[in-house]
Amino acid sequence: MEPKVHTIFEPVTGTWQYIVADPSKKEAVIIDSVLDYNKDTGVLSTTSADKLLELVMENDYSVSRILETHAHADHLTASRYLQNMLGQRHHPQHPLVCIGKRISGVQETMGRIYSIPTSEMQDAFDYTFSDDETFRIGDLEAQVVPLPGHTPDHIGYIIGSNIFTGDSIFNPDVGSARCDFPGGSATTLYKSMQKLLSFPGHFRLYTGHDYPPKERCAPGSDKPEPVPYTTVEAQSKGNKHVKSGTQMEDFVKWRTERDSSLSEPKLLRQSMHVNVRGGRLPSGPVEGFKLERVPANVPKAD
């Protein structure tokens, strides 16, 4: 049995968001949602998240879980806003906000770097998955697959013949994600990518981001189109960083040199403050995190 997969692209941060559903039972999960934020104006908005809610309503889905693949460093999660809205509209529905168990290590590290109170990260998530754990989406079985490297807490979700890979592999003409996040590792990412490439060739690898190069423009267009997935076979043949035959030492050397030249993600500080709090805003003012306008139903940490 295969799920129904809805793909929703958020162009400002280049993020793919997903709603994955059992089409018969109408149970669904949301993966890697985005809360819109302009760091110059300090304005938060829920435009992207509201599009997810519209899809849920249009399809009459019951959302059981809001899933994260990792603690994102480039966008704020809309998980708690979505949870609040779904709880109101589908009472007594209250989807669980979930992430992998190694989030505790990321919280410890980021708490130290950004002076985040431990009390605001404690029990920040409703559930943390163990490696290879399984869970149900209606009649579908989903499985957690550990995919560290980009970040140490990174996981993916296998649902039918689809793997939601987060930032553990990008489309073939984009390649791979940076590994200079604290606890990240190019060696570990290479191994995670090889794990993904070991799945059957027809499996679809849904990526967490896409940054389409100009070469992807359709004839007569100057705007390249983002693509949510390619197959294991296509990745093995064409991934510009880890296609079949790429040696680990070559990848690690290139990735390490490349990462050393990159500036930090534009929303790193703000993303970390929200994402290690499980989708909640800081309880009080935070240096470098301007908040001038906050929508209702976006909660603060206790």
Predicted confidence (pLDDT) at residue 146 exceeds the cutoff of 90: yes
- The pLDDT score that the predictor gives to residue 89 is 62
Per-residue pLDDT of 39-64, as tens digits, reads 999 999 999 999 999 999 999 999 99
Mean residue pLDDT of the chain comes to: 96
Predicted confidence (pLDDT) at residue 12 exceeds the cutoff of 70: yes
Predicted confidence (pLDDT) at residue 92 exceeds the cutoff of 80: no
Domain residues of the chain, as ranges?
4-275
Mean pLDDT for the stretch of residues 258-263: 97
Q: Which fold has domain 4-275?
A: Metallo-beta-lactamase; Chain A (3.60.15)
pTM: 0.97
- The pLDDT score that the predictor gives to residue 222 is 87
DSSP codes, the chain: ---EEEEEEETTTTEEEEEEE-TTT-EEEEES--BEEETTTTEEE-HHHHHHHHHHHHTT-EEEEEE-SS--SSSB--HHHHHHHHHHHTTT--PEEEEETTHHHHHHHHHHHHT--GGGTTT-SSEEEPTT-EEEETTEEEEEEE--SSSTT-EEEEETTEEEEETS---TTT------STT--HHHHHHHHHHHHTS-TT-EEEESB----GGGPPTT-SSPPP-SEEEHHHHHHH-TTT-TT--HHHHHHHHHHHHHTPPPPTTHHHHHHHHTTTSPBPSS-BTTB--SB--TT-PBP-
